Amino acid sequence: RERKKERERERKTEREVRRGEIQTDIQRKRDRKEEKEGRKSEVQRDKHMEKKKKRKKRHDTYRKDQCVN
């Protein structure tokens, strides 16, 4: 009986350890995914800002041309 109880305890601890490892893996994956998303959004924001600047520049030059005439 004592051996059986001890084996059961060992199994429980192994299960808990394994569960902990799985949780950390899941968390790691989640973190990596969020980091990727964050980088993507930064790149998109940069692209957007570049487009915005170009648009503004084009608009300003067009207005200058209109003023001259």
pLDDT digits (tens, 9 = 90+) for 1-27: 889 999 998 998 888 888 888 888 889
- Give the whole-angstrom CA distance, residue 37 versus residue 45: 12
Provide the 3-class DSSP secondary structure of residue 35. helix
- Give the whole-angstrom CA distance, residue 26 versus residue 20: 10
pLDDT digits (tens, 9 = 90+) for 27-60: 999 999 888 888 888 888 999 999 999 999 988 8
| Domain range list for the chain | 1-69
